[in-house]
Amino acid sequence: MAQKQKPHAPELLFNEQAEQYVIASVLLEPSALHEISLTPQMFGIERNRIIFAAMLNLAAQEISPTVNAVQYRLEAENNLERIGGVPYLAALAAHAPSSAYIQSEARLVEKFFAKREIAYAATEISEIAFDSKDSPDAIAIWDRARAKLDALPIPRTSQQDPWAKFKRTLADAYAPRPPRQFVVENIFSQPSLNIVYGAPGTMKSLLLADNCICVASGARWLENLPNAPHCGFNTQAVPVMWLDFDNGRNRTDERFEAVARARGVDVSLPLTYYAMPTPWFDASDSKAVDALIERIKREGAQLIVIDNLGVITGGADENSAEMASVMGNLRRVSETTNAALVVIHHQRKSSTYNTRAGESLRGHSSIEAALDLALLIEREDHSETINVKATKTRGADILPFAAQFSFEHRPNSKEFAAARFWGLQIEDTLSDRAIEKQILEVVSGNAGISKSELTKSVKERLSDVGINRIRNIITSLSIQKNGRLKVVSKEGDRNVQRFQLSE
């Protein structure tokens, strides 16, 4: 059954001044169109509805809705005369106000739209009641009336709490949840915000390209070489998206071809990459972030790599607190799409820091603070081996790991024909488990050793580990129930503790 045409809206059901203000503001400053979320049907005056539809159509084609562009669009649609011709557009442009209040005026347009819809629904509900027969089915009438009311738009007002849908309680916390998913086993979780960083020439982009091929195909990443100790990470086969703003199309093509051919994967692999796209992605611009979120949802990507952070910050100074907003926008991308987002970044060129490896991450401290995981890539000059260590994790510790690069060149060329990384085992010298191992080895060879002597001996073996951390683990091993160490003596007034292995 055809939908009944809505009657012309009486003047009490629209606000002409607000509608003209919105349209004139966009003509004055086309970028203001991205600050509002109106649709053409929200305008009560037909010619304003037609003009706004033309503006949205232009924006969808990435054409700025200037006066001339809107005029040409309306002419192409045979709608220019319907809106009052060039004089109406010219009058709007000539008296265009500041766009500073476009959001409040847009809300007014939206409120009048809701008012009209309520009025129309009330009329239709009256008709439903009066059209019923002598023995009306009250429940059927009620259901039809309720359907009309439920279909009404809910106007957004300043009184509504925008955080309401995000409110949670302990009931939500206690509710059963599925286990955390990882696109790369125990490394990149869903959702998560991650950075992989290192000095130039450490092959961090190529390592991640290899990772992307494994994730898109569900193959194990960093498998060990034949006859080598077992290592590597399982992956979940999910669609992958790569955004290149650094290497350019030719080099990105070459790298993905090389890592894909090395593994013999098919061209139908769910991997998409964009090389130097325009408009440029600006992570400081909420509208650009919204557009990226929609693109990711449309393509179903669950692992996204952006190369690199330094060129997507827009006007934000990388070394200032402005980066908190950029990182917040990147977090929103990850949380909204439930994807693992990995951003490639750089290490400081030179540093006087000697306290934490994470302080070599270039830029403001808000960058590191926003991350779930930061992986530092290190490589000696001319070496085909790279070392990877986590400098920040929100979850379980990630032990350092290493990768061996292997490749083939095209005949008579330096271009890669095939390239991949193999996993290598490296000695664990940083985890609590490694510290415990060294403590027990020292004590087993020197029963009755004091805490200071034990700490010094372990520190000599594990130079990168802090003294206080060693002391705390010694204490923990001696006071835990069924601990591995026991105190065997206390000497003199100094109350010196000596340790040996528990039986």
pLDDT in tens, 114-164: 888 888 888 877 777 776 665 566 677 777 777 777 777 665 544 556 677
Question: Hey, which of 9-13, 70-74, 488-492 has the most confident mean pLDDT?
Answer: 70-74
Return phi, psi of residue 349, to 5°.
-65, -40
Alpha-carbon span 283 to 290, nearest angstrom: 10
Helix (H, G, I), strand (E, B) or coil at 473: helix
Q: By mean pLDDT, which of 9-18, 358-367, 371-380, 490-499 is the weakest?
A: 490-499
The phi and psi torsions of 273 (rounded to 5 degrees) equal: -135, 145
Highest mean pLDDT among 123-132, 189-198, 488-497: 189-198
Cβ contacts of 255 within 8 Å, gap of 6 or more: 205, 206, 209, 247, 416, 419
Could you read off the pLDDT of 317-347 as tens digits, one per residue?
999 999 999 999 999 999 999 999 999 999 9
Q: Is pLDDT above 90 for 195? A: yes
Predicted confidence (pLDDT) at residue 500 exceeds the cutoff of 90? no
Confidence of residue 348 (pLDDT cuts 50, 70, 90): confident
CATH 3.40.50.300 in the chain, residues?
182-424
Order of strands, sheet of 485-491, starting from the edge strand that comes earlier in the sequence: 449-450, 496-501, 485-491
* pLDDT exceeds cutoff 70 at 10: no
* pLDDT of the residue at 425: 83
The CA distance from 45 to 464, in Å, is 72
With cut-offs at 50, 70 and 90, classify the pLDDT of residue 1: very low
Quick one: which H or E segment has residue 17?
Answer: helix 16-28
Mean pLDDT computed over 189-208: 96
In which band, very low, low, confident or very high, does the pLDDT at 259 lie, cut at 50, 70 and 90?
A: very high
pLDDT of 413: 86
How confident is residue 486, by pLDDT bands cut at 50, 70 and 90? confident
Asked whether 429 and 469 are in contact (CB, 8 A), the reply is no
- What percent of the chain has pLDDT above 90? 54
Provide the pLDDT for residue 493: 47
Q: Letter for the amino acid at 211?
A: N
Note the pLDDT of residue 9: 53
Q: Where is pLDDT greater, at 374 or 30? A: 374
**What predicted TM-score, i.e. pTM, was given to this entire model?**
0.63
Q: In the chain, which segments carry CATH 1.10.10? A: 432-501
Its CATH architecture, for the domain 182-424, is: 3-Layer(aba) Sandwich (3.40)
Pure H helices in 242-391 = 249-263, 286-299, 323-337, 365-369
Tokens 């006087």, located at residue: 352
Q: Considering the chain, tell me which residue range(s) the CATH 1.10.860.10 domain(s) occupy.
A: 11-150
Q: Where are the beta strands (DSSP E) in 53-184?
A: 181-184
At residue 210, the pLDDT reads 97
Cα 396 to Cα 196, 257, 373, 380, 426: the distances in Å are: 17, 34, 10, 28, 19
pLDDT above 70: residue 80: yes
Backbone angles phi, psi at 141, to 5 degrees: -65, -45
Instruction: Reply yes or no on whether the pLDDT at 6 is more than 60.
Output: no
CB atoms within 10 A of CB 40: 16
Calculate Rg over the CA atoms of the chain.
32
Q: What is the CATH number of domain 11-150?
A: 1.10.860.10
Whether CATH 1.10.510 fits 432-501? no
